[in-house]
Amino acid sequence: MAVCNEIESWLPPRLRCELPLSSTFHINAIIVSVPEIPAAASIVTVSNLVKQFGRFAALRGVDAEFCAGKFYVILGDNGAGKTTLLRVMAGLAHPTRGTISILGKNPQDACREIGYMAHPSLLYDEMSGMENLRYFARLYDIEGNGRCDQAIRAVRLDPELTRPVGQYSQGMRQRMSLARAILHDPKILLLDEPFSNVDVHSAQEMVLLLKGMRDAGKTIFVVTHQAALLEGVADEFVWMEYGKIVDRTSDLKPRAAAQ
């Protein structure tokens, strides 16, 4: 069985924190909690963030604040630093210099409140969707199948589907990866190319799912090369070039027209 080393390294052993007792599920089956942070409050603060890989600087002094309950789309060419920024926010990469604060904590201490969806699915192909979520649920000390069932239904898949994830379509794999990211009801979702290799219909359905989660109080960051899918849904487009944030716009067109 392939081992998802990256996701397991991100989670402390058995994650000693307990799930909040106030966790509930939206009427449309999307996982939500009553927001504990005012929508206008800063939930992520990045200060002079630098990340180097040898002599190459993937991030070059990023400064930014992001508010709770907003939908952010991070855009830029390959090598602009988008995925690196997301990985540092997730606690998977450590800054070379500078700081990043998630809910007033460093990313490693805030991991309980972060749901991370990488470009690879980070799922076990030999296991069914439910078996995958049961495994990850144990890492979060989530008992029983109820939360796994709800997470799968939230992304509009069938919990009773028994065939292995390796036989899923790409759209189904992406949805199951999203179910894994929302399983523990995080406040923040970090999604790297969630629409990659997904047909237009499935991508549009995922956009609606994410919109519902944002409307329910989640803070969402999406790295994508398919920004047009999120026009009219995203609160802000964050433009990156050469490891820096160079613009932040409420509309996709102004920056695109300038390029």
In this structure, which CATH number among 3.10.450.50, 3.30.60.50, 3.40.50.300, 3.10.28.10 belongs to the domain 5-9+40-258? Answer: 3.40.50.300
pLDDT greater at residue 17 or residue 108: 108
Confidence of residue 121 (pLDDT cuts 50, 70, 90): confident
pLDDT at position 38 is 57
Q: Look over the chain and give the mean of its residue pLDDT values, rounded to a whole number.
A: 85
Task: Give which of 218, 222, 225 is closest to 236, Cα–Cα.
Answer: 222
Does pLDDT of 196 surpass 70?
A: yes
**Which of these ranges, 30-39, 144-153, 202-211, 249-258, has the smallest mean pLDDT?**
30-39
Name the percent of the chain lying above pLDDT 70: 82
Least confident of 37-46, 93-102, 106-115: 37-46
Instruction: Write down the domain spans for the chain.
Output: 5-9+40-258
Predicted pLDDT of residue 7: 46
pLDDT of residue 108: 93
In the predicted model, is pLDDT for residue 98 greater than 50?
yes
Q: What is the pLDDT of residue 242?
A: 95
Mean pLDDT of 83-105: 95
Judged by average pLDDT, the poorest of 3-7, 48-52, 65-69, 227-231 is 3-7
